[in-house]
Amino acid sequence: MAGLERFRKLPPAQRAMVAIAVLLDGRESQTFLEQDAHLGEELGEVAQIIAVLPASTRIPLLGTELRQALGELQEPMELRGTDYE
């Protein structure tokens, strides 16, 4: 699933943002995320791919991914590495 891999390669803050947007707005999340001045196109495309998954798959998947992203954001900076800010 290429879309899921693209999602997982995003920095944790963007993964959390996409997860929250898709959980709250589903298919409409793409429009919201595309408004980001820097990553809008990428975030919107990823959201579109994930939003079309069946709800029985999408909701638990995004809940898990959101918890993981938030956990990464809470790690001390020295454990995060240099791949993202």
Spatial neighbors of 72 by CB under 8 A, at least 6 apart, are: 12, 80
Can you list the alpha helix ranges (DSSP code H) found in the chain? 2-9, 12-25, 29-33, 40-51, 55-74, 77-80
Q: pTM higher than 0.85, yes or no? A: no
Q: What is the pLDDT of residue 78?
A: 56
Short-list 29, 17, 26, 32, CA closest to 70 = 17
Alpha-carbon span 54 to 85, nearest angstrom: 32
Token couple for 29: 């999340």
Q: What is the pLDDT of residues 4-56, one digit of tens each?
A: 899 999 999 999 999 999 999 988 899 989 998 888 999 999 999 999 999 99
pLDDT at 76 over 80: no
Domain map (residue ranges) of the chain: 2-79
Q: What is the pLDDT of residue 82?
A: 56
